[in-house]
Amino acid sequence: MTSDWQSTACILCECNCGIVVQLDGRSLTKIRGDKAHPASQGYTCNKALRLDHYQNNRGRLTSPMRRRPDGSYEEIDWDTAISEIAAGFKDIAESYGGDKIFYYGGGGQGNHLGGAYSGAFLKALGSRYRSNALAQEKTGEAWIDAHLYGGHTRGEFEHAEVAVFVGKNPWMSQSFPRARVVLNDIAKDPARSMIVIDPVLTDTAKMADFHLRVRPGTDAWCLAAMAAVLVQENLCDETFLAAHVTGAESVREALREVSIVDYAQQCGVDEELIRVAARRIGTAGSVAVFEDLGVQQAPNSTLCSYLNKMLWILTGNFAKRGAQHLHSSFGPLLRHAPEIGRTPVTGAPIIGGLVPGNVVPEEILTDHPDRFRGMIVESSNPAHSLANSAACREAFGSLQLLVVIDVAMTETARLAHYVLPAASQFEKAEATFFNLEFPHNTFHLRHPLMDPMPGTLPEAEIWARLVRQLDIVDEADLAPLRSAAKQSRAAFTEALLHAVGSSPMLSKVLPYVLYETLGPTLPEGLSAAAALWGLAQRVAISYPDAVRRAGYTDGNALFDAILASPSGLTFTVHEYEDDFALITHRDKKIALHIPEMLDEIRELAEPVPALTTPEFPIVLSAGERRAYTANDILRDPSWRKRDPDGALRVSIEDAEALGLSDGGRARITTAAGTAEATIEVSEAMLSGHASLPNGYGLDFENAQIPGVAPNVLTSTRWRDAYSATPWHKHVPARIEALPAP
Ligand SMILES: Nc1nc2c(c(=O)[nH]1)N[C@H]1C(S)=C(S)[C@@H](COP(=O)(O)OP(=O)(O)OC[C@H]3O[C@@H](n4cnc5c(=O)[nH]c(N)nc54)[C@H](O)[C@@H]3O)O[C@H]1N2
Ligand SMILES: Nc1nc2c(c(=O)[nH]1)N[C@H]1C(S)=C(S)[C@@H](COP(=O)(O)OP(=O)(O)OC[C@H]3O[C@@H](n4cnc5c(=O)[nH]c(N)nc54)[C@H](O)[C@@H]3O)O[C@H]1N2
Ligand code: SF4
Ligand SMILES: [Mo]
């Protein structure tokens, strides 16, 4: 037992709060918030204390495995695994083209460093198509963002006079630093207000000054009505619009036509409540907005992203304290370019470089010559997290080669030809690229707390071995880099520039080159930080003043500080004016004119039929964040202190009408599938709306643990017209009481 506190981070959500831990052998026995972490400052939620269930999960993988013809798995050694996998993908690339190799994942809520190395192997093979969970939530918003200003925005809730949450429950799902502290501060302060748009009376909604309890799936009408109030009651910031925005008139024209009274009725919210909430936004000193899955995984999601941004753009809530901001990023998670690529088989939109999750099975299960034939899944569990699990299972099972890199035997791993066991996030250097804050943005390179569990390898090493096996890099090209890396950062910089200039292959596999040459010179356990060297240079070039304000003269100084800061550091300090410079349009103005969205606003005037039917009369939200959900990261069900079955929450009215009782069982049926669940009758739910949590129904120790795997019930066809993001929050369903066992 060591009594030293060691710094690391919680890996259960995108906040990655800094924590300090004490170890007993390989167990995390004591866990506390790390006060030295620049973003979380000692904060954690209830879940961080359960992290040993991740580290010491009995389902950990400890050897590479190969599937036998009968479907069982045999352990194989690493050399055999690497050579057979490399040969298998090379064969696909040579027979059909490297673009038939599809890459999914690259990091979950706590680990993006491994994925940073995947590009070398994939590019060397000619693989082009990739995706991850962001294509199930954020791509519609990213498309809007690309048109408006070319980057991702984040609200500065800590200082916002008015905080607006649209389909977002931060009390449970967090997503910005010290969320509960910030929410409590806003709720306590009579000068500040919280506006929540959510059909459910969530813990966040309970704290709100204005709860706009929309009928599920009708946010577009609610948001259009709010934006229309701003226009029709002259609450726009004319000075801001004149100076910093183009195309405002076309939006205002569309919003002038909106009948606020009709739209209020359409979304089920009192007209006066819509008006007072909009006026509160229109007259506030600062407004910050967070949209999340409640709209991003529901009908009209791309339009909702556009409309909710009108709330802060029309009112000039940009580039000032407590408002909305573009921000620096350490390694951008998606590209914010307005161009859309197309997937090879279905022609679905590729936004930000990501194939929509909902078309993945169709891109495989076809005899189309351009179908994906091989797939690498890293740190993700698409057989459980993508819509229509049955279709995913069939598709993944039909691949010529599927390789999964994970710490556990996941639903996806059970379909793979090879499963590669990764070292856990406490056994290697790790980091995330969820660096989304402004004006102070932080980055945290976590040091390993212990050696990798025997039999496992960090991803950086796995990818390096795969590249080595392809035998495409000449050792003679690496030798000068190795010696320069030993001399100094400056010598290395110069040698690298020279080397990539003279060998195109080296620039193709750059992360590999950094790992092989700079990696060995880094402090013990941190060789996988080598890729951060390149990113630190990019950061210093992209935001020179902000990096200098943070205290670093150049990319090398920033990189060295990252290595030496086990609790993380602030890498950029911005001034509010910088927001304008971060707009990527040449005129540095926000461009509101998106013709498709203006048409969509006009079309809201036409009545739309509900998606529910007499056969499926209830709207099911499949995948709500609760106190004891953490995506698929914790597989051992004993981590949960409450809600062991992941109850199906139903309204009092529906329970009465359907004969459901609290604690009883029910069958849920959708057009895609059926499942059984335990009922919780809840006054938080609106009549006609039911909800199931995410992260349940995982396999553990060869048994399916309690709860519903939500994507048994979802269909790939329920998706957004622009971004193809899924409607997980809006699944028409039937619920029937089951007799007590
Ligand atoms: N505890 C916990 N926290 C997490 C995670 C976790 O698994 N567990 N996962 C993390 C991840 S990956 C993500 S993406 C975030 C997601 O964070 P959130 O988006 O906040 O999470 P959800 O609970 O899925 O959905 C938010 C809200 O949408 C509401 N909603 C449902 N239908 C509608 C609708 O039609 N309109 C509106 N306006 N609202 C609707 C639900 O009632 C819910 O309160 O959470 C992160 N944080
Ligand atoms: N119906 C429905 N479906 C949903 C959602 C919903 O609300 N409803 N939410 C969607 C959202 S927002 C998200 S973000 C996705 C999440 O779904 P996925 O992208 O599939 O991600 P996770 O569930 O977080 O799975 C992370 C995986 O990483 C593995 N892992 C943990 N540590 C390591 C490591 O160090 N190395 C490696 N190689 N692997 C590791 C874990 O074992 C786990 O299998 O689900 C989406 N699917
Ligand atoms: S789950 Fe998220 S908010 Fe909670 S401690 Fe972990 S990183 Fe922080
Ligand atoms: Mo997510």
Q: Which of 431, 452, 469 is the last residue of a domain?
A: 469
The pLDDT assigned to 703 comes to 79
Residues 6+ apart with CB under 8 A from 91: none
Residue of 288 and 340 predicted with greater confidence? 288
Whether the Cβ atoms of residue 345 and residue 368 lie closer than 8 Å to each other:
yes
Q: Strand, helix or coil at 290?
A: strand
pLDDT confidence of residue 338: 83
- The whole-number pLDDT of residue 484 equals 98
For residues 728 and 641, membership in a common domain is answered with yes
Q: What is the CATH number of the domain that holds 397?
A: 3.40.50.740
Please state, for a pLDDT cut of 70, what percent of the chain lies above it.
99
Same domain, 314 and 208: yes
Nearest bound ligand to CA 628?
A: 1
- pLDDT tens, residue by residue, 472-513: 999 999 999 999 999 999 999 999 999 999 999 999 999 999
Task: Give the pLDDT confidence of 429-485 residue by residue, as tens digits.
Answer: 999 999 999 999 999 999 999 999 999 999 999 999 999 999 999 999 999 999 999
- Do both 625 and 730 map to the same domain? yes
Whole-prediction pTM: 0.98
Instruction: With a cut of 80, say whether residue 1 has pLDDT above it.
Output: no
CA of 85 to the centre of ligand 4 (A): 30
131 and 157 co-located in one domain? no
Domain-located, residue 481: no
Number of domains in the chain: 3
Residue 144 is assigned to a structural domain of this protein: no
pLDDT at residue 2, rounded to an integer: 56
Q: How far apart are CA 518 and CA 533, in angstroms?
A: 9
Same domain (yes/no): 221, 370: no
Average pLDDT taken over every residue of the chain = 97
The CA distances from residue 420 to 257, 300, 408, 413, 463, in Å, are 57, 39, 9, 9, 11
Assign 586 a pLDDT band (cuts: 50, 70, 90): very high
- Which residues have any ligand 2 atom within 6 Å of their CB? 108-109, 111, 133, 136-137, 293, 378-382, 385, 405-408, 410, 422, 424-425, 459, 622-623, 631-633, 694, 710-711, 714, 728
- Tell me how far CA of residue 267 lies from CA of 35, 271, 361, 625, in angstroms: 44, 10, 34, 23
Ligand 1 neighbour 295 (Cβ under 6 A): yes
The closest ligand to the CA of 113 turns out to be 2
111 and 203 co-located in one domain: no
Considering the domain architecture, whether residues 287 and 251 belong to the same structural domain is answered as: yes
Flag whether pLDDT at 337 surpasses 90.
no
Mean pLDDT of 51-80: 96
Summarised one tens digit per residue, pLDDT across range 571-583 is 999 999 999 999 9
Please list, in sequence order, all residues whose beta carbon lies within 8 angstroms of the beta carbon of residue 535, skipping any fewer than 6 positions away: 116, 330, 331
Same domain, 248 and 291: yes
Q: How far is the CA of 625 from the centre of ligand 1 (A)?
A: 5
Residue matched to tokens 């045999």: 74
Domain containing residue 223: CATH number: 3.40.228.10
Neighbours of 662 (CB within 10 A): 13
320 and 354 part of one domain: no
Of 598, 626, 647, which residue sits at a domain end?
Answer: 598
> Do 594 and 733 sit in the same domain of this protein?
no
Looking at the structure, tell me whether residues 240 and 169 fall in a common domain: yes
Among 165, 397, 174, smallest CA distance to 296 is for: 165
Residue 443 lies in a domain: no
Tokens of 253: 């024209």
Nearest CA-CA partner of 294 in 568, 622, 533: 622
Q: Which of 469, 490, 507 is the last residue of a domain?
A: 469
Within-domain flag for 245: yes
Residue 311 forms part of a structural domain: yes
- Distance (Å, whole) CA 260 – CA 245: 25
pLDDT single digits (tens) 645-654: 999 999 999 9
Per the omega criterion (within 30 degrees of 0), is the bond before 439 cis? yes
Look at residue 705 in the predicted model and tell me its pLDDT: 77
**Could you tell me if residue 247 is inside a domain?**
yes
Residue 335 has pLDDT above 80, yes or no: yes
Q: Which ligand is nearest to the CA of 430?
A: 2
CA 55/CA 226 separation, integer angstroms: 46
Q: Are residues 176 and 322 in the same domain?
A: yes
Q: What pLDDT digit, counting tens, does each position of 215-267 carry? A: 999 999 999 999 999 999 999 999 999 999 999 999 999 999 999 999 999 99
| Continuous segment of H or E residues that includes residue 355 | none
Q: Is residue 506 part of a domain?
A: no
Q: Is the pLDDT assigned to residue 137 strictly greater than 90? A: yes
CB 44 within 8 A of CB 630: no
Tell me, yes or no, whether 524 lies in a domain.
no
Per-residue confidence at 92, pLDDT binned at 50, 70, 90?
very high
What range defines the domain where residue 644 resides? 618-737
3-state secondary structure of 246: strand
Among 20, 34, 47, which is best to mutate for testing ligand 3, by the most ligand atoms less than 8 A from CB? 47
Res 666 pLDDT > 60: yes
Q: Which of these, 122, 312, 296, lies nearest to 220 by C-alpha position?
A: 296
